[in-house]
Every structure is written in C-alpha cells, then in structure tokens.
Amino acid sequence: MGQTSERADARALTLVGLWPVRNSFCKVSEALQAQDRKRDWLALPAVPLPTELAAKLAVAMPGVASGLDRHMWLRSGSCQTLEPDAYFSLQVRLLEAVNRSAVGALFRSKIGLDVTEAEVRAAFDTDFAAGAGERVRLQCRKVGDRTLVTGLTIGLSATMDEASDLATSMLGAAPIRSRCSSGLVDAAGSSRQLRSRNEAVVGTVGTGASRAGAAIELR
C-alpha cells in the first residue's frame, strides 16, 4: 500500500513488475547490465510507450519515478515476446483486476490492521477461481517488533499473452509456498522509511515460486 493519504496508491496495491521466473536480461548487452547494476535506473534507456499508457503506468507503478519500468524492461521484458506497450498494458490490466476485486477490498479494509495469508488466498478464490489463492504469497518484513506486509507475489503461467486473464494465468501455475502467514497493512504515511526504500526495489521470487512460469509482484 502507498505512502501518504494524498497519493493515488495510498489505498491501492501498486505494481512492482512481471517477470519470467528462470530468465533475466535476455540478449541484453554486458554494458547495459553493468549500468543496471549501478541502480541508477533513470540513466537506462527510456521504454517507448504511448503517452496514455505511460501516464497509467506512472500511477500503477510509482517506481517509474525512479526508473523501475526501465529496469524491469531490461531485466524481464527482454525475456518474453510482447512489445513494450503490450507487456506493460498487460501488467496494468492485471493490477486493475486485483484492485477491483475482493482482494483490493480486503486490503483497503485492513489498513492499520493485520491481514492473514488465509484471508488473502480466500479473496483470490472468491473473485478469480477456486485454487487461485494457492498461487499467492504475502511478502513481509520485520520492522522492530512488528511484521509488515510489504507486497504480494502471484504465480502465473509461462504462456501468457496480451489478452491473458488473471484467473486462467494463475491456474496455469503451480501452487507456491509462503514464509509469512500474517502481517500489518500499514496506514498511509506510516513506516515511511520502509516504503521509500522498497518502492523502487524489485522483489525477489523465493522458495516455491520457481514452480511458476512467471510471477507478478504487487505492493
């Protein structure tokens, strides 16, 4: 969830990225990979997107302000067949589907409260497909004596295209395991240091998710 109550992402999940699980930086030059590792992602080549889509992506993926879209295109977009506009349009559409669903409603209702993995998985099962929740895991981090939910990782089928829907894509992936059973959904403006540090950092796919063909992470 977002940082301040005035921001569009304050009450909605936002996008980190979509990536193939086993591949990265496909046919990307060593020079560009070295530049990417410096983490000055705004120095990377801009992603060519239509103006309207670029505006939508900037809202859906706040990390665009730090060049996250450029990093994700080199890291993961290079390892699939969609053009940049189709690749990012798909991600925005999947994010919107989650935010409109019982999942989005659950997270909005839990701001400032704990949410459990079981509740999140049940919401996915309710609005997308029975068994979809088994393809989801909470991303959490300890901050002091609290466990904060910092995002969701969703396992997806490797055979996705521009028209893929979320339910079918989730059921095309194997179930994934989670290391976090519950955590606090922090209110807008709280844990600001954690949020500002995470916003432009791509989440890693950990134990269990390698059985999926692709993964999308939301925060």
What is the set of domains in the chain, with CATH numbers? 15-218 (3.90.730.10)
Question: What is the tens place of the pLDDT at every residue in 15-47?
Answer: 999 988 788 999 999 999 999 999 999 999 999
User: Is residue 209 over pLDDT 50?
Assistant: no
Concatenated DSSP letters for the chain?
--SSTTSGGGGS--EEEEEESS--STT--HHHHHHHHTT-GGGSPPP---HHHHHHHHHH-GGGGGTHHHHHHHHTGGGSSS-HHHHHHHHHHHHHHHHHSHHHHHHHHTBTSEEEHHHHHHHHHHHT-TTGGGGEEEEEEEETTEEEEEEEEEEE-S---TT--HHHHHHTS-----S-SEEEBPPTTSSHHHHHHHTT-PPPP-TTGGGSSEEEEE-
pLDDT for 169-182, tens place per residue? 999 999 998 889 99
pTM above 0.95, yes or no: no
